[in-house]
Structure 1
Amino acid sequence: MSSTQLFFCPVSDYYANLLQISLNNKDLLSGRSVHAQIIKQGLRASAFLLNNLLNLYVKCWSTSVAHQVFDEMPTKNTFSWNTIVSGYAKSGQVDLARAQFDQMAERDIVSWNSIVTGYNQRGFHREALKMFSEMLKDSYLKPDQFTLASALSACASLENLNLGKQIHAYMIRTKFDTFGAVENSLITMYSKSGGVENAREIFDSLKDRDVVAWTALIVGYEQNGLNEDAVALFRLMIREGSKPNSYTLAAMLSVSSSLASLDHGKQIHAVALRLQEASSVSVSNALITMYSKAGSIGAARRVFPLHQHRDTVTWTSMIIALAQHGFGEEAIELFEEMLALGNNPDHITYVGVLVACTHVGLVEEGKRYYNMMQKVHEIEPTPSHYSCMVDLFGRAGLLQEAQDFIEKMPIEPDNIAWGSILASCKVHKNLELAKVAAERLLLVDPGNSGAFAALANTYSACGKWTEAAKVRKSMKEKGVKKDQGLSWLQLKNEVHVFGAEDACHPQRDAIYAMMAEIWEEIKKMGFVPDYGSVLHDLDEDVKDHKLRHHSEKLAIAFGLLNTPDNTTLRIMKNLRVCNDCHSAIKYISKLVGREIIVRDATRFHHFKGGVCSCRDYW
């Protein structure tokens, strides 16, 4: 019987049906049994059956066996080639996919889509766009929605707005009927590439908006820092009756994290619970981060054990949360548990572990984990890891070790590393190293106001007022403006912002009166103002007045005036909390019987009953 006759014989149809059942059930074992029967029945010449068999192995992720079947096929058609190319591409073996693609005598749209999509999904975005460009040179082939969606996705990943616009122009010129995936890809491309206004125009023009379109624009707003627009769009989505999915909710929780808005985050959590999406990986991870950034580490702790399918991001999110709130030992215990359960950390996990060690002064443990990262998990240090180590040594007062570490780094230290050294020099009053660090920081970032301010503050801390004044004068002459220290808190969906000696708030008189009363009461309790925190040569009475009106103290006084007794105050600050405020807030928390949570530029401080969670190490 010839192979042509076999193609139409009932036996071939029988085995093809069995292969389809195996494919539908993703049952590779049954598929192998059918494969054995095909060989036994002498049907290996049937292109129809072999293509079905090839498709089974590819869809069941058995590419090595698929390759063997492909090599043994007596005849191969375009379907055969497309199947093997697609199989390699989807399994991440894009080099093998490209090798097979290059050998194809004839290519159709499926062939090109397989290689373009394969490159894009594996992060080879430039190669994906290069292949897309090669495809356009073929006058007989026109891209379809899958090709264009992949090309636009590659542009989004590269944030290449110009090329994205060219693809969009091509679609307009050829009157391509954009719908579904292509429209959503356009929204994502414009959002990620800095053209969020164009993304909104496309979104507004859509007749039927699916959840992907809503989510794409919400994510675009969030990534561009347009958090209020993201909130407004989400509310419109709910009003119009569109149901958010886990990715929408995760994006909105990220918005809440950026705003550090606990109330807003709780509302999104409630929506996630109602839609039964709270247990999804993306939402659970976002919840941990949101609660942590909003100052509610207790809520983050409660979410974590409810997470049934913890991935590396889940563990990392909780480790970083604990580290930022000063629970370094607990963060390290969690990391060790992660390792014991066979979960592999990534480079971000190790940033969290090193931060945990830094904030509680575990220098030897930090050095051990830094070495473990490289030797055990084969993770090459990034600038973030180097900066963590410099900070670890600097905060512990080991400035010589910090300097030695910087000199041995295989890359040029960045502004974060030198900034850490400068901050440590001020605390530990090391003028010589401060001069070096400031000079090097200004070489890396000439307009860095922090370099001038930190050097001036170090001179002031050492009592060298003339030198401090010279640095501030130089700063003024060069037009470098110091970042203003600001503190804020949210009350009834309104954010109240305070600067030092702020005179603009409508409740200024009541706030100042409250702070004056608190100041006298905590002095009676034993509080002694730290006049060294005023980095100017002034009389003590003037220093006392200035210290009393630091931004975080005014924010706390406002909070005490406008919130019920026993509620927690959550204060955000853009700079590091000073020694005097840190000491004063400990006394205030005991005086008023409240927990006061302050998030400064590097970490959270939980003040309660006269003590701080950082144990005075920050």
Structure 2
Amino acid sequence: MRTLCFFEYLIGTSERVSFSKTPKHFTTFLHPQPNLDHSMDNVAYTQLLQSTASSQSLIHGKEVHAHMIRVRFNPCLFLQNNLLNMYCKCGDTTFARRLFDRLPKRDTVSWNSLISGYIQTGHTDRAMDVFVQARNANVKIDRFSYGTMLGICSRSGDLKLGKVIHGLVVVGGFHQHVFLTNSLIDMYSKCGRIDEATRVFDNAAELDDVSWNSLISAYVRIGLAEDTLKILSQMHQLEMKMNSFALGSVLKSCSSLKSSKVVGEMIHGCVVKVGLDFDVFVGSAMIDLYAKNGALNSAVKVFRLMPDPNVVVFNAMIAGFCRMEVEIENELINEALGLFSEMQRRGMWPSKFTFSSVLRACNLANAFEFGKQIHSQVFKNSLQSDEFIGSALIDLYSNSGSMEEGFRCFYSVPKQDIVTWTSMISGCVQNEHFESALSLFHDILSIGRKPDQFTISSIMSACANLAMVRSGEQIQSYAIKVGFDRFTICGNSRIFMYARSGDVDAAEKTFQEMENRDVVSWSAMISTHAQHGCTRDAMMLFKEMEDCMVAPNHITFLGVLTACSHGGLVDEGFGYFESMKRDYGLNPNVKHCACIVDLLGRAGRLADAEDFILNSGFDYDPVMWRALLGSCRIHGDIERGACVAKRIMELEPDASASYVILYNMYLDAGKQSLATKIRDLMKDRGVKKEPGLSWIEIGASVHSFVAGDKSHPQSHAIYAKLEEMLSKIEKIAYARTETLRFNDPSPEKRQNLMNCHSEKLAVALGMIALPEAAPIRVMKNLRVCQDCHTTMKLFSESERREIVLRDPIRFHRFRGGLCSCRDFW
């Protein structure tokens, strides 16, 4: 009765429905001329219902249904099934169920229609209930019902239920139908059981092109590239038809193979032979494969041959320009940005992937202004809340140093996944906001998010830069607990953390325990030995790296050259410098050349170092001249040092380092008046010297000091301990010619010793607070001075304690009155 009322309502309102977009035949059938009979036959109603089902126009379908009731038409079962199918296709499963329950007679099509309707609207549980009801009602279920249920198992990953359906298929005698064979292969592969999928394939009574392509997709899905190629070869031998999806999937899987470029070219030939070289899906896969292997010319050729590239093809090419494993050239990145402009000229609508790829290109090319323009388009298209675009924007602003904008982008993403959090943490580490990085990591854990290996790597880098080894060890313990310690990236960060904290032994142990070392692992360990003055260890490790067939990169050679520089090995350093270009095809950058300048300068070959700068092509870079200026001070070449300092001041008028070095050089030579002029020049130009800051980690706390600092709660005890230590080393200093600075007993000199540098205060606190067996590790933001270096040697001898002092350039490990740098720094 309620159903009848509903239809009466439809009949009463049907005349008021707008027919401006109604097909002509609807107007003819539903609003006939007055002199025509209003009744229609099953065929006419069926055509109307099938038309509405195709267009998914629910209002038109209801009008047809209402018309059938108004003229009291008695539909056959075939027409009733079409009516049920119409409601299901239009998404009105509630009324479809009502109609189904009132059907006087149902067949297999009726049950299949309702099951399909529930699946289309996402109600898989209801679809499963209907399937069970059909079996309980002894309905003869056909292969399409079983195929539909296997599709549910594929989407949900319900292997247990899938096996039950498989058993019913066999019992029902449908296992020989190729349609169900393909459904079973798809179900098992999506549930991660490639062995079962292969068994179904091998035991099938009949196979078609879909069967082979489904099996290929299954192997591609789990990353078995070599097995995928074997199946593709068998298909080719049996002359089976390959579709574009299968070939595109195979091309994507080939990128993991060592010989992926060769294999890709072979498949490319196959693609051309079967006539799919213009297919956009296959074309985008080819572009991606060539780009990943560095064959950008081939990728560009494929792109240019595409007659009508769509957004997906453009995205593949843009991303291809940003996927080079070697150093990115700005010319290539500009090509990517040019493609984005071409997309806009063609009137294409960029996708989320387009924007994220273009933003990555802006990051690589340091095209921050262009990136900001892209950001405005992202905002215009209301895509700023996308997590992938949000991460790319965070990287953009982090790389440009705009952390405030980076945080604004971070908080504008409502769904902050772990990638977004990691991007923000990495940006903080990159811009030396280490405390903010640690705070973000704490927030991740507090809201119950699970960090990944990249998050762990970034936060350990923050601990490394702060020399917070205790905090780093706690994070390492967390990584072990969740199983991230096996990842190479975490092992590399752990090496870096221990190295930056001055614990070279722990770094070496971590390196030896790593199962999968990459070039970053070797480079990190070589650099660690170099910074700690272990020159021979660094060179031996480099030789071992070559024996293991690991190709060094720019960072590796920078570590080796640094080791040679700190060890005074001129010939060996030049040998590595030449090998870098000759044997590995790596072009030295300004940092490598600065190492050579430092190497020559420390060896006293100041003229050679200056000639090297002038011929290096980097004579415009202040880093090169600053390395020479430091050597001029070491060897007391005041005249050359003054000229070099003048050159640096022209290149970097606001940088204080060159002024300070020249000032100290004049003081060392006893030229007080010239030193005073440099100090006055700094005042006139508004150049301020960066204050010296030292810090030490005691337990879970970090204690920092500046020169003459008395703000610490234990200040009285610290100065008392320092007084005690200075009294001890005076006795040793009198017996050594190398420490004549300490032989001045005047009150003024004594006062200067007490108004000590920050590292002395930090060491004194370490002597008080740390156990005798624990080394004292102090970090400083400026280079250690000669007086403090000598003092630390004497402290290590008088107190019988190991002291590790890190400055921005290297580590000094003091033991028994000696330093690991051998006074060569």
Query: Which residue of structure 1 aligns with residue 152 of structure 2?
Result: none
The reply on whether 1:59 has 2:253 as its aligned counterpart is yes
Aligned ranges for residues 567-586 of structure 1 at < 5 Å?
567-586=774-793
Aligned ranges for residues 321-332 of structure 1 at < 5 Å?
321-332=528-539
Shift of 1:494: 3.9
Mapped contact 1:387–1:417 kept (Cα < 8 A): yes
Rounded Cα–Cα distance in structure 1 between residues aligned with 2:409 and 2:684: 48
Rounded Cα–Cα distance in structure 2 between residues aligned with 1:78 and 1:485: 60
Which range is displaced more, 121-130 or 211-220? 121-130
Aligned ranges for residues 106-125 of structure 1 at < 5 Å?
106-122=308-324, 123=328, 124-125=332-333
Rounded Cα–Cα distance in structure 2 between residues aligned with 1:570 and 1:177: 45
- The answer to which structure, 1 or 2, has the higher relative contact order (CA under 8 A, 6+ apart) is 1
Per-residue CA deviation, residues 529-562 of structure 1 (Å, 9 max, x unaligned), is 978879xxx9954234313433122222232233
Q: What is the TM-score with the length of structure 1 in the denominator? A: 0.89
Query: Which residue of structure 1 aligns with residue 350 of structure 2?
Result: 143
Query: Which residue of structure 1 aligns with residue 133 of structure 2?
Result: none
Shift of 1:162: 4.4
Query: Which residue of structure 2 aligns with residue 84 of structure 1?
Result: 286
1:607 maps to amino acid: F
Which range is displaced more, 340-349 or 88-97? 88-97
SS in 2 for 1:605: strand
Shift of 1:103: 2.5
The reply on whether 1:72 has 2:298 as its aligned counterpart is no
Query: Which residue of structure 2 aligns with residue 4 of structure 1?
Result: none
Query: Which residue of structure 1 aligns with residue 339 of structure 2?
Result: 131
Query: Which residue of structure 2 aligns with residue 3 of structure 1?
Result: none
SS in 2 for 1:582: helix
The reply on whether 1:155 has 2:362 as its aligned counterpart is yes
Aligned ranges for residues 339-350 of structure 1 at < 5 Å?
339-350=546-557
2:286 maps to amino acid: I
Query: Which residue of structure 2 aligns with residue 6 of structure 1?
Result: none
Rounded Cα–Cα distance in structure 2 between residues aligned with 1:548 and 1:363: 40
Query: Which residue of structure 2 aligns with residue 30 of structure 1?
Result: 230
Rounded Cα–Cα distance in structure 2 between residues aligned with 1:175 and 1:377: 47
1:374 maps to amino acid: K
Which range is displaced more, 380-389 or 574-583? 574-583
Rounded Cα–Cα distance in structure 2 between residues aligned with 1:261 and 1:492: 9
Mapped contact 1:533–1:579 kept (Cα < 8 A): no
Mapped contact 1:529–1:544 kept (Cα < 8 A): no
Mapped contact 2:385–2:415 kept (Cα < 8 A): no
Mapped contact 2:217–2:249 kept (Cα < 8 A): no
2:319 maps to amino acid: T
The reply on whether 1:550 has 2:756 as its aligned counterpart is yes
SS in 2 for 1:489: strand
Mapped contact 2:363–2:395 kept (Cα < 8 A): yes
Query: Which residue of structure 1 aligns with residue 140 of structure 2?
Result: none
Mapped contact 1:257–1:289 kept (Cα < 8 A): yes
SS in 1 for 2:653: coil
SS in 2 for 1:213: helix
Rounded Cα–Cα distance in structure 1 between residues aligned with 2:399 and 2:766: 38
2:323 maps to amino acid: Q
Per-residue CA deviation, residues 261-292 of structure 1 (Å, 9 max, x unaligned), is 11221111111111111121111111111111
Per-residue CA deviation, residues 48-72 of structure 1 (Å, 9 max, x unaligned), is 5577456535532322112212333
1:119 maps to amino acid: F
Which range is displaced more, 506-515 or 599-608? 506-515
Distance 1:55 1:414, change over 3 A: same
The reply on whether 1:500 has 2:694 as its aligned counterpart is no
Shift of 1:323: 0.6
Aligned ranges for residues 421-432 of structure 1 at < 5 Å?
421-432=628-639
Which of structures 1 and 2 has the bigger CA Rg? Answer: 2
SS in 1 for 2:451: coil
Q: 1:338 aligns with which of 509, 523, 545?
A: 545
2:434 maps to amino acid: N
SS in 2 for 1:593: coil
Mapped contact 2:384–2:413 kept (Cα < 8 A): no
Mapped contact 1:533–1:578 kept (Cα < 8 A): no
Q: What is the TM-score with the length of structure 2 in the denominator? A: 0.67
Shift of 1:90: 4.1
Rounded Cα–Cα distance in structure 2 between residues aligned with 1:58 and 1:603: 45
The reply on whether 1:605 has 2:799 as its aligned counterpart is no
Rounded Cα–Cα distance in structure 1 between residues aligned with 2:654 and 2:233: 70
What percent of counterpart residues are identical? 35
1:392 maps to amino acid: L
Query: Which residue of structure 2 aligns with residue 590 of structure 1?
Result: 797
SS in 2 for 1:310: coil
Rounded Cα–Cα distance in structure 1 between residues aligned with 2:211 and 2:286: 24
**Unaligned 5+ residue runs, structure 1?**
1-8
2:339 maps to amino acid: M
Rounded Cα–Cα distance in structure 2 between residues aligned with 1:194 and 1:428: 38
SS in 2 for 1:121: coil
The reply on whether 1:487 has 2:694 as its aligned counterpart is yes
Mapped contact 1:530–1:580 kept (Cα < 8 A): no
Query: Which residue of structure 2 aligns with residue 284 of structure 1?
Result: 491
